[in-house]
């Protein structure tokens, strides 16, 4: 059986909402330079799959001196440890309001879940991933040298990486925000994980990941790196991240891993049966559209650009949406904000070739 056959089985199985694309794991699986990483990648590719709400009481004094009690949304986090096995959920090691522990990965997961919760609540008034205060559960130290992080439909799961190419997946806030973003998508548009709707699924998860990091750091669109997965490569790899939203195809260029294959516009759209029809590759096109839109608007991306994308996901978008359908829906939402916001959205989608420029007879795929 070939690596690509393993790849397809893995993608259609438990790890389909994972941060590391199957094509990158397939490349790594053949590496002669990193034998331990290659073995870990092969094991990751062929691995087998694996409501309680919380609020916090806030007390304040009104203008008449009376005590006022209000209930506000609050995260409900539970972090478990798989201890190097592939058994979920693992043993509980930290719960909500518990103190930090000695394990860095546990604390990083806890903080990343909290950062995503706060971004969703502040930017979109969304109480957790389902909008109803669902718990945020995560498992760390999954598998032995496991080269991925994934959302399994109910929890975040983090591998530790192989140590040669990938390191601890909890180290990147964008990875955590991305995977929880799949949960939000699951509870809103439910975009199919195949072809263009699958690439939109991956792209919107990247948007949530980028916005989580920017919200945590208080960055404007101009200040942001727009990188997804920065910090999970070891220093041995010639690359800065898994993906660049603003400049797709530039995130890494390594002798063993090859060059980042993401296209920046529809002229490079990849027709393939691998990677569920290129969901991780072609996501670079809508990724760039969002980043261009946010940068053109300026300010904090979660406030206007992010809200447009979020409202699109929540507005009855079909699960089979194509790039062109998604673009039209985001432009319609942007037009509701202002004429200039709508114009910025149109310009972004035109730049990446999903909609045609005025007077251009071409159409998107």
Catalytic-labelled residue, pool 179, 202, 256, 333: 179
Catalytic-labelled residue, pool 16, 213, 280, 333: 280
Is 238 catalytic? The answer is no
Is 187 catalytic? The answer is no
The Cα 266–Cα 201 span in angstroms is: 17
Q: What own/partner pairs with CB < 8 Å and gap ≥ 24 does 33-37 have?
A: 33/255, 33/256, 34/162, 34/164, 34/165, 34/236, 34/256, 36/145, 36/162, 36/163, 36/164, 37/145, 37/147, 37/162, 37/163, 37/164, 37/165, 37/166
Helix axes 104-124, 173-187, angle to 10 degrees: 50
* Six-digit token string for 296: 């053109």
Which residues are catalytically annotated?
179, 280
């Amino acid at each position: 059986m070939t690596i690509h056959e393993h790849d397809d089985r893995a993608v259609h199985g438990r790890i389909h909402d994972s941060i590391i694309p199957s094509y990158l794991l397939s490349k790594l699986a053949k590496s002669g330079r990193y034998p331990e990483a290659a073995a870990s990648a092969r094991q990751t590719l062929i691995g087998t799959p694996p409501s309680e709400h919380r609020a916090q009481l806030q007390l304040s004094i009104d203008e008449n001196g009376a005590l006022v009690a209000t209930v506000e949304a609050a995260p409900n986090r539970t972090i478990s440890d798989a201890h190097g096995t592939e058994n979920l959920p693992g043993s509980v090691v930290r719960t909500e309001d518990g103190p930090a522990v000695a394990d860095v990965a546990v604390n990083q997961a806890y903080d990343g879940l909290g950062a995503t919760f706060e971004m969703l609540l502040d930017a979109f008034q969304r109480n957790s991933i389902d909008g109803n205060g669902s718990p945020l559960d995560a498992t760390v130290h999954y598998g032995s040298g496991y080269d991925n992080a994934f959302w399994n439909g109910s929890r975040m799961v983090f591998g530790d990486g192989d140590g040669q190419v990938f390191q601890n997946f909890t180290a990147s806030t964008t990875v955590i925000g991305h995977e929880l973003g799949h949960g939000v998508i699951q509870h809103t548009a439910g975009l199919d994980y195949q072809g263009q709707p699958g690439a939109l699924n991956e792209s919107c998860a990247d948007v949530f990941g980028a916005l989580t990091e920017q919200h945590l750091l208080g960055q404007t669109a101009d200040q942001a790196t727009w990188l997804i997965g920065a910090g999970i490569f070891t220093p041995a790899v010639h690359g800065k991240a898994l993906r660049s939203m603003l400049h797709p195809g530039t995130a890494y260029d390594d002798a063993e891993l090859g060059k980042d294959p993401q296209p920046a516009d529809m002229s490079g759209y990849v027709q393939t049966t691998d990677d569920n029809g290129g969901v991780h590759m072609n996501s670079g096109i809508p990724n760039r559209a969002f980043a261009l839109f946010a940068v053109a608007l300026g300010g904090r991306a979660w406030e206007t650009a992010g809200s447009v994308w979020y409202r699109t996901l929540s507005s009855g978008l079909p699960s089979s949406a194509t790039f062109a359908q998604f673009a039209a829906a985001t432009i319609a939402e942007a037009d509701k904000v202002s004429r200039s916001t709508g114009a910025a959205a149109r310009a972004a989608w035109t730049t990446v070739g999903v909609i045609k420029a005025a007077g251009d007879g071409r159409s998107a795929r």
